[in-house]
Amino acid sequence: MTREARPLVFLGTPTAAATILSELIRNDFEIAHVVTRSDARRGRGSSTTPSPVKQVAIDNAIEVSHDWAWVKENSNRELLGVVVAYGKIIPAAVLSHTPMVNVHFSLLPRWRGAAPVERAILAGDARTGVCIMNVEETLDTGDVFARREIDIVDAHTTEKLTADLATLGGDLLVDTLTEGLGVAVPQQGESTYATKVSADELLLDWNRSSIEVSRIVRAVRSYTMLGSQRLKVIQAELITDRVQLSPGQCDGAGCVGTRDGAVRLVAVQPEGKAVMDAVAWLRGRSDQGIIQFS
């Protein structure tokens, strides 16, 4: 096998995809074009900003577009598409002319779909990884060229694990393209689907076990209710101390009762305020005793 010689058209949008695009550029792969989502509002104010992938392309003087037009217009060229968290299904009409590979953040066929990192954390998976697969019209069903695994540890939030997988995926993609794609292997085993996290899943249920609560906090932008006020739970940790708290009861040390024990709040964000230390937030309240989350 020989190094991939075809110019690449890169399709992606978020920071994780930008990490992988940067790694391709650093290793001197020819990026003929970048396709990414349109500029969007990404903070307060009315101005729009480019996606992380578009910013990398701009910084490296690579032509960028926001639809399939360039790919279709160049369908007669020997191109290879690289897809990383682009956010749209690639039409069959495009794939029929331009073959593409996808860098997917799971060990396929486990966690096909939109939220593989979140679902791996929520399910308590011990390991996950990255697959380089052939892109088909159906979702994440293509044959796999290469895969690499990583342990999921307690310190992994979705943001941190995604960053680690992006680094792993960039290395794997560079290695795979350098050695040549070779022959892809059909996915083996039972498939599971990683649906997008729904709004209902963000509300913490303190009648769950401590480990389940901890996983939810690590995986999604969770919150709890104190009366009519929403409190975002940014960080929490498992504790081994035996505490006498009913589910949802919170003491002055930030310990909150669960079905089988308690977790300790580390960082929270009250409505309309910045992220802050959980104990500092509790000390600043007028009711200094046990409070009840719902």
3-state helix, strand, coil in the chain (%, to 5): 25, 25, 45
Q: Are 178 and 234 members of one domain?
A: no
Per-residue pLDDT at 44: 66
Domain final residue pick, 194, 220, 245: 194
DSSP string, 6-64: SPEEEEE-SHHHHHHHHHHHHTT--EEEEE-PPPB--SSSS--B--HHHHHHHHTT--E
- Mean pLDDT to the nearest integer, 16-21: 98
Same domain, 23 and 104: yes
| Residue 114 forms part of a structural domain | yes
In this predicted structure, what is the pLDDT of residue 45?
A: 65
Residue 212 and residue 173 share a domain? no
Q: Please tell me whether residues 144 and 226 are part of one structural domain.
A: no
Using an 8 Å Cβ cutoff, are 100 and 10 in contact? no
1 falls within a domain: no
CA distance 251 to 279: 10
Considering the domain boundaries, does residue 156 fall inside one?
yes
Report yes or no on 3 lying in a domain: no
Could you tell me if residue 62 is inside a domain? Answer: yes
As a whole number, the mean pLDDT across the chain is 95
Q: What percent of the chain has pLDDT over 90?
A: 89
Give me the mean pLDDT over the 151-179 stretch: 97
What pLDDT does residue 8 have?
98
Residues 248 and 133 grouped into a single domain: no
**43 pLDDT higher than 70:** no
Beta carbons of 246 and 261 less than 8 angstroms apart: no
Tell me whether the omega of the peptide bond preceding residue 109 falls within 30 degrees of 0, making it cis.
Answer: yes
Q: Are residues 167 and 222 in the same domain?
A: no
Domain stops at, among 145, 162, 194: 194
CATH of the domain at 159: 3.40.50.170
Per-residue model confidence (pLDDT) at position 42? 63
Count of residues in the chain: 294
Residues 82 and 190 in one domain: yes
pLDDT of residue 87 exceeding 90: no
- Does the pLDDT of residue 41 top 80, yes or no? no
Query: Domain count of the chain?
Result: 2
List, for residues 56-70, the tens digit of each pLDDT value. Answer: 999 999 999 999 999
Claim to verify: residue 281 and residue 145 sit in the same structural domain: no
Give 105-138 pLDDT, tens digit per residue.
999 999 999 999 999 999 999 999 999 999 998 8
Kindly state whether residues 129 and 40 are assigned to the same domain.
Answer: yes
The pLDDT tens digits of the residues spanning 187-243 come to 999 999 999 999 999 999 999 999 999 999 999 999 999 999 999 999 999 998 888
CATH of the domain at 270: 3.10.25.10
pTM: 0.94
Q: Is residue 27 over pLDDT 80?
A: yes
| Residue 22: HSE in the Cβ half-sphere, 13 Å Cα cutoff | 15
- Give the residue from 149, 172, 194 where a domain finishes: 194
DSSP annotation string for 133-195: EE--SSTT-S-EEEEEEEE--TT--HHHHHHHHHHHHHHHHHHHHHH-----B---S---EEP
Q: How far is residue 190 from each of residues 105, 109, 144, measured CA to CA in Å?
A: 17, 7, 15
Domain hosting 63: range is 8-194
Q: How far apart are CA 139 and CA 187, in angstroms?
A: 13
Signed CA dihedral, 94, 98, 101, 103: sign only: negative
